[in-house]
Structure 1
């Protein structure tokens, strides 16, 4: 890797204060995140034709989208985060994009479950290097008070990627083959990986932080690996943000990995229906929710840090009754209409937790702290959610062959309640740690 340390002796870093350059960087990193999530979601979008071609069960699908993927995605993120905190973060993102895009092409060439499993694990290996460095790059391009919105825009990558994946993947699969969808999207990612170093320049670490003295003293020092790990897991607010996000992701990944299969197999949708209507629901619902959450975070965290926790808690409480109605709905048009609300409200946690972690740690710990956040929340959510729902569906198949996925999705209701409880606990911790003067404007 031709990575250059950002400390003295390396080439001059890009000025993070350049407004136009900051938005170009955000746009490129956002598009990479779109590809990241698009590649990741193709498996769930094309679950039905993949099942028909490779003869795999719901439980095996859950492992491919859950535990197998999460193991590599989560744990490789730690050494990648350590490396990116010490070297050129843009180079790390570019190389990671190339790896996961090549692995996506390999998914399309797989001929059995074993080959597909290895390809999916390699996708996870590559995607581990995409998000944590991007969080830190964006934080160093945008000043405090604008980071919530910037990270909110960046976190629109998943809904846009999911929506494009649904529309493109389902359309290609319906017209040609599910294999062609993997190969085409992987090829686009390889081109973007090559172009990224020419479009995004490495910003100075901590250059826009509120305290110039703090940034100046922190920038030359390299954060120790174990010191950062100890700091993260000894800080209650960071741990609770990661746990609350992880439990929330049991719902979002558990539902997300099986929603298309559920709607097609148990509600009667076709691939053409999925390509249009489900794509719109994801784009409008999830995209609107993530964008709105970024704006709300910037607005209300100026008054009190407790907003980082109260906003996700309130949004999940509002989402729960609509989620129950969605799973119950007797037809796919009604189910999709009801699904808009959970898709909008389920993702407030994401920008909130990311912004909180990035604000609470030193500039030279941001990539590593972001990687630790992803490790906890994704290993819980991505590792448990799809794996559990797939296994539960297989379990209920013997007694409820026509609606085993519906029953499996009903069992996620207590998970909502656990996530709400964790975010309320986080709000209490943040309230204790916030000086009284900060809570009143």
Structure 2
């Protein structure tokens, strides 16, 4: 049966006629007063039509409710499963509704969020920014996005950063009463930005460090070139002058004098050779790779004393060596450091009757500080800046032999270990040389 419209009454009429196989009853207005049966038939017909019409309406209502329920479940699934958190806040910032993602972001079940103030999940130092964000949202219906940290589960751990975006839902009167706010997790992006900033800062620090190293190397190179030029000129000048004396044609034959000239030339060449060897040793000290490992300095001191061929009571030398720690360092470099300092202590104490040498160690929170103390000739503190320079000597070669290179090598090796070196002394009262070493291997944390 085709109807001109979907009127429930037409449907009811059709179903009723099919059920009783009869035509519709005559309306009461057309029935004679004496025809009571016709009236009752009409009322019964109307009642049946209303019943069928109500049933059809109920079926349509159930179908519509079922569709609405399906739509509601689909909406709820989309709402809860959204990749961002959704909150509905009132004007005071109390949560009216939240999806599952928001609960996960805040560290609580979404069902427990309604009625709680959202600002309770925001650290105190960021609460004012959120209050301004909410006020602007309520007053104007929109606000600029805001980044805040979340103190998850209220324990103060700000381990999540979110971006808030919102809009106000207006009452028919035009007054905003609720705010929809989305929470987008941007923690990974902020961590990535922080890592980039850290790497940039590290790179800048490394560039600054390399620049400083290059500057120091350039300064050192200038100092070395000046020292080498000055030191080499002296034996060259001596060799040249004595060579000129030998070459003078007017010089009578004097074998003894010629032998004297030749001896001085040979000494000058030997001095030059020693200087060149010392210079090569100095540069090799800066280029050779240090093999850092744990070194027992007590064993290093034992090897040094064997190499120097001195005993505690031999030759009037009294040694006092305190217990020394295990450090990170290069064994050969540490042997050279102690060997040079102890050799100098012995050399510059040989003018006293009883030589006393003490090796000791103190420590700070981050470094070990070692000292080698003697009771020798000492030095004037006004000359301390020359102590660790190349070919710098505070005493003449007639008094004490040497190239003036040992302390420069000590400084170079100590600096390569991440430490520093310094000294104190008084003329005739001895000297103390200190150097420090870090407690941890450079580039490692404790």
TM-score calculated relative to the size of structure 1: 0.17
The structure with more strand, counted as a fraction of residues: 2
TM-score calculated relative to the size of structure 2: 0.17
Q: Which has the larger radius of gyration?
A: 2
Q: Which has the higher contact order (CA 8 A, sep 6+)?
A: 1
